[in-house]
Amino acid sequence: MITVDLRSDTVTKPTPGMLEAMWSAKVGDDVFGEDESINELEAKAATMFGMEAGMFCPSGTMTNQIAIKCFTQPLDELIADQTAHVYRYEGGGIAFNSGVSTRLLNGYRGIITAEMIEPEINAENIHYPHTSLVVLENTVNKGGGSCYTLDQIAPIAHLCKANNLKLHLDGARIFNALAHTGDKSVDYGKYFNGVSVCLSKGLGAPVGSVLLADTATIKYARRIRKVLGGGMRQAGFLAAAAIYALDHHVERLKIDHAHAQILADELTKLDWVTGVLPAETNIVLFDTVQPADQVLAKLLEKGIKASGTDKHRIRFVTHLDVHPEQVEYTVQVLKSL
Ligand SMILES: *Cc1c(COP(=O)(O)O)cnc(C)c1O
């Protein structure tokens, strides 16, 4: 039986080329700043996004949480959409790590606008938490891989500047967004104070994320990473995988998007599916007549793994290890249910 893992784009395994890059990586003690591969990765990613500096971390949760710590003080408030990963899926870390409250907005598929943000910025008043940060996510995970264009981001960045707010991007899937919108990564540096990029999602590296910002922010971020226990030693083996991914796995994201589109198109034709969100990138969210658990169990019997995100909602995520024949097989199984 063919098996297909559509649960997440985190499940990929390193390719032979990536393993070779890891095997031959030049490494050193990164806490001393001596790991050549990590230094190369940080500089490369910063340049790609028009930022001054970068810092490699074990996870995207860590890069996001460190960014929030860098851009706020205790008793501050940040603004984000109610679906935001930093709020929903990072264990309450905003309050725990930074002592900051969160103001949630009701965006469309996780996408928020300057008009929505502006009235939520607190005036200077002893009763109110001090608004100091806006966090955007691109693509939006819980929005089904929905994207911001830079044209949508520019007015938000402008509003933040005018109100002395920092702007951070949770760019776990930023390369998926760029593949869809055609925007250039280098232009992101003009708008954001911080950018977090996951290397272990669609890019297919086994571990890690980078935080990108200006030099002073990254200097402070290194203190925070150390205190959180994220100072790694010869982690250049992981950075080498990430460099390989940036060189070889960015262009191919379009294939994952095409695969998601094929699955979404098929789903819209099925009578047991009540709705499918537009598949902009590599995530397909769809609603089912039967409870999601029952549909997931039937898929699993056929070797197809997926995840439920709500009682009647299922998520498919395409990635590097989902090949055309597996997409075709999935289509056949969906038709047969
Ligand atoms: C996966 C993800 C992260 C980071 O998650 P880790 O598992 O900690 O690497 C952050 N934001 C979004 C939107 C994500 O999908």
User: Domain map of the chain by residue range?
Assistant: 4-11+251-336, 16-248
Tell me if 8 CB under 6 Å of ligand 1. no
pLDDT digits (tens, 9 = 90+) for 19-35: 999 999 999 999 999 99
Residue from 81, 168, 170, 238 whose mutation best tests the ligand 1 pocket (most atoms within 8 A of CB): 170
Output the residue whose Cα is nearest ligand 1's atom 2: 172
Q: How far is the CA of 170 from the centre of ligand 1 (A)?
A: 8
pLDDT tens digit sequence for 117-169? 999 999 999 999 999 999 999 999 999 999 999 999 999 999 999 999 999 99
**C-alpha span between 297 and 110 (Å, rounded):** 29
Nearest of 208, 203, 231, 189 to residue 61 by alpha carbon: 208
Residue nearest to atom 5 of ligand 1 (CA): 60
Q: Which pLDDT tens digit goes with each residue over 199-215? A: 999 999 999 999 999 99
C-alpha–C-alpha distance, residues 160 and 247, integer Å: 33
Closest CA to 62 of 245, 223, 242, 208: 208
Helix (H, G, I), strand (E, B) or coil at 210: strand
Ligand 1 pocket check: which of 89, 94, 307 to mutate, most ligand atoms within 8 Å of Cβ? Answer: 89
In the reported structure, the alpha carbon of residue 289 is separated from the centroid of ligand 1 by a whole-number distance in angstroms of 29
Inter-helix orientation angle 236-248/16-23, to 10°? 140
Q: What is the pLDDT of residue 101?
A: 98
Q: Which atom of ligand 1 is nearest to the CA of 84?
A: 13
Residues of the chain with pLDDT under 50: none
DSSP summary character for residue 106: -
Residue 123 C-alpha to ligand 1 middle, in angstroms? 32
Residue nearest (by alpha carbon) to ligand 1 atom 3: 60
Q: Ligand 1 pocket, 326 CB below 6 A?
A: no
The two structure tokens encoding residue 5: 């893992």
User: Residues 152, 193, 180, 55: what is their CA dihedral angle, to the nearest 10 degrees?
Assistant: -170
| 137 Cβ below 6 A of ligand 1 | yes
Ligand 1 touching residue 176 (CB < 6 A): no
* Phi, psi of 35, rounded to the nearest 5 degrees: -90, 110
Q: Amino acid identity, residue 299?
A: L
Cα 167 to Cα 68: distance, rounded to the nearest angstrom: 10
What confidence score (pLDDT) does residue 188 get? 98
Distance between Cα 22 and ligand 1 center (Å):
23
Kindly give the distance from the C-alpha atom of residue 62 to the centroid of ligand 1, in angstroms, as a whole number. 9
Tell me, what's the pLDDT at 1?
Answer: 78
Question: What architecture does CATH give domain 4-11+251-336?
Answer: Alpha-Beta Complex (3.90)
Q: What residue type is assigned to position 243 of the chain?
A: I
Question: What is the four-CA torsion angle of 189, 118, 64, 28, rounded to 10 degrees?
Answer: 30
Q: To which H or E segment does residue 46 belong?
A: helix 36-48
> Is the CATH number 3.40.190.10 carried by domain 16-248?
no
The alpha carbon of 196 and the centre of ligand 1 are apart by a number of angstroms equal to 9
Ligand 1 within 6 A of CB of 203: no
This prediction's pTM: 0.97
Radius of gyration of the chain (CA): 20
**Structure confidence at residue 26 (pLDDT):** 98
